[in-house]
Amino acid sequence: MSLDVHPISAFEDNYIWSIHNQQYCVVVDPGDATPVIEYCKDEQLTLVAILITHHHSDHTGGIDTLLQSYPDIPVYGPQNPKIQQITQRLKDGDHIELPHLKHNLSVMEVPGHTLDHITYYGEGSLFCGDTLFSAGCGRLFEGTPLQMFQSLAKFTALPRETKVFCTHEYTLANIKFAKAVEPDNQALVEYENWAVQQRINNLPTLPSTIEKEQNINPFLRCDMNTVITSVSKHKEALLTSEETVFASLRHWKDNF
Ligand SMILES: [Zn+2]
């Protein structure tokens, strides 16, 4: 069974994903409560759980206000005690059943962007927080390049048709960098045309899929000669492995 998922826009470029049926919904990373409350009212849905991927405030800032309206709902999230509102603390390999929705999701620990970062996967969908973006990946605020590389490898081991629900609309900016790395990647050029059109029509470029990202996202293509050549031209670094290519690529993007 596939999930019904709807984006709720928040702040400049965040998406709070709502997993829903006709009656109930669960939201992922509600950084702001107001658009979630409006969405539930407009769609006549009852919020039954909150899922959190990591501690950043643009992913957690709405929890308190939502709990005022829905005081008894579970809040799933990482072990990090700094996120005090979490009622169900999760670790790698845990499984959860979303209340009232009968959907099962499994939990993966994916350190890199932050050390507490977890993701939720199930029913053909991946809620990856700030770990993977379309045509890019999260900044390394707390983890090492190796940790992030290994976290992304968990995603590419998933079925290729898996839908990828990222939490930011960063696609067009990411494509600019991806084109600097692989100017001759035809799939990337075609993807840019599509993404530009989506944004002109005020539509999200998400969800993506694992397959799409493997074709256009340089951070998932560190084994490709085109990427290796481009990284080695840009930076004098000893590119001895995919991990070192990834680390140099991430460093390049940080200064792009
Ligand atoms: Zn973040």
Token pair in block for residue 74: 């579970």
Going from the Cα of 96 to the center of ligand 1, the distance in angstroms, rounded, reads 23
Is residue 14 within a helix (H) or strand (E), and if so which, with residue range? strand 14-20
Predicted model pTM: 0.97
Question: What is the model's pLDDT at position 239?
Answer: 81
Question: What is the model's pLDDT at position 234?
Answer: 86
Going from the Cα of 43 to the center of ligand 1, the distance in angstroms, rounded, reads 28
Question: What is the model's pLDDT at position 3?
Answer: 80
Going from the Cα of 56 to the center of ligand 1, the distance in angstroms, rounded, reads 5
Going from the Cα of 166 to the center of ligand 1, the distance in angstroms, rounded, reads 11
Going from the Cα of 226 to the center of ligand 1, the distance in angstroms, rounded, reads 29
H, E, C per residue of 173-231: HHHHHHHHHCCCCHHHHHHHHHHHHHHHCCCCCCCEEHHHHHHHCHHHCCCCHHHHHHH
CA atoms within 13 A on the CB side of 225: 0
Q: Closest Cα to residue 174, out of 244, 231, 99, 250? A: 250
Going from the Cα of 57 to the center of ligand 1, the distance in angstroms, rounded, reads 8
- End-to-end CA, the chain: 41
Identify residue 80 by its one-letter amino acid code: N
Going from the Cα of 233 to the center of ligand 1, the distance in angstroms, rounded, reads 30
Going from the Cα of 225 to the center of ligand 1, the distance in angstroms, rounded, reads 31
Q: Closest Cα to residue 60, out of 100, 111, 109, 118? A: 118
Question: What is the model's pLDDT at position 59?
Answer: 98
Token pair in block for residue 149: 């590389």
Determine the Cα–Cα distance for residues 5 and 88; give it in Å rounded to an integer. Answer: 22
CB 73 within 8 A of CB 105: no
**Interior CA angle at 236 toward 235 and 240, to 5°?**
100
Going from the Cα of 130 to the center of ligand 1, the distance in angstroms, rounded, reads 5
* Bond preceding residue 78 cis, omega within 30 of 0: no
Going from the Cα of 17 to the center of ligand 1, the distance in angstroms, rounded, reads 15
pLDDT per residue as tens digits for the range 28-78:
999 999 999 999 999 999 999 999 999 999 999 999 999 999 999 999 999
Going from the Cα of 107 to the center of ligand 1, the distance in angstroms, rounded, reads 18
CATH topology for 5-254 is Metallo-beta-lactamase; Chain A (3.60.15)
Question: What is the model's pLDDT at position 1?
Answer: 58
Is residue 57 within a helix (H) or strand (E), and if so which, with residue range? helix 57-60
Token pair in block for residue 191: 């993807």
Going from the Cα of 110 to the center of ligand 1, the distance in angstroms, rounded, reads 12
Determine the Cα–Cα distance for residues 88 and 143; give it in Å rounded to an integer. Answer: 24
Going from the Cα of 120 to the center of ligand 1, the distance in angstroms, rounded, reads 15
Q: Note the residue count of the chain.
A: 256
SS3 content of the chain, % helix, strand, coil (to 5): 35, 25, 40
Per-residue pLDDT tens, the chain, 256 aa: give them: 568 999 999 999 999 999 999 899 999 999 999 999 999 999 999 999 999 999 999 999 999 999 999 999 999 999 999 999 999 999 999 999 998 998 999 999 999 999 999 999 999 999 999 999 999 999 999 999 999 999 999 999 999 999 999 999 999 999 999 999 999 999 999 999 999 999 999 999 999 999 999 999 999 999 999 999 999 998 777 788 999 999 999 999 999 9
Give, as one character, the DSSP assignment of residue 156. H
